[in-house]
Amino acid sequence: MAQNNVAIYPGSFDPITNGHVDLVKRTLRVFDRIIIAIATNPGKDSSLFSLEERLEMVREVFKGFNRRIQADSFEGLLVDYAERKGARVIIRGLRAISDFEYEFQMAMMNHRLKPNLETFFMMTGESEFYTSSRLVKEVVSLGGDVSGLVPSNVLKRLRQKFDR
């Protein structure tokens, strides 16, 4: 498979939601391989799930897609990681207009750092428009139900985390 048809899908994935899953599956129509790359920031990480837990959840969700979808983690600049992986494209999802400014800034900065690297934006699926990892965690922590918004393995782990 051509190395230049690899796309990196970076993020915190704390945890992966059905919005992410939908986006990855649609992205597979365009790219041969996708690396779901979980960013780590040792010492400053305030995530609910450990890096190992997040990687495990992603691998469980995509276990049938071993050859085309990989889960990995990286430290440092995303553009350097993408270069090491031989990828020329970064994938990001866009939900509402509120995502735009942050995404635009990141895409511009990444482009300035590595002009050969492009950011491709995918619109989030309509049923996941309002789903975010942050909201999902908040709702579960307060006793709400997020089934249908996250994969079942993630739902189970969220409930365990918050003892629900």
Contact positions vs ligand PNS (CB under 6 A): 10-12, 39, 77-78, 106, 109-110
Report the alpha-carbon angle 16-151-147, nearest 5.
115
In the complex with ligand PNS, which residue's Cβ is closer, 102 or 164? 102
CA distance 32 to 68: 6
DSSP for 4-66, written as a single string: GGEEEEEE--TT--HHHHHHHHHHTTT-SEEEEEEEE-TTS---SS-HHHHHHHHHHHTGGGT
Least distance to ligand PNS from the beta carbon of 109, Å? 4
Return the axis-axis angle of helices 152-161 and 51-61, rounded to nearest 10°: 150
Which residues are marked as active site?
A: 20, 44, 95, 133
Q: Rank residues 11 and 125 by Cβ distance to ligand PNS and give the closer one.
A: 11
CB 31, min distance to ligand PNS, A: 17
Q: Minimum Å distance from CB 10 to ligand PNS? A: 4
Indicate the burial class of 3 (C-beta count within 10 angstroms; 0-12, 13-18, 19 or more).
exposed
State the nearest-atom distance from the C-beta of 136 to ligand PNS, in Å: 13
Output the six-digit token pair for 61: 């969700």
Comparison of 12 and 131: residue with beta carbon closer to ligand PNS? 12
| Closer CB to ligand PNS, 106 or 122, in the complex | 106
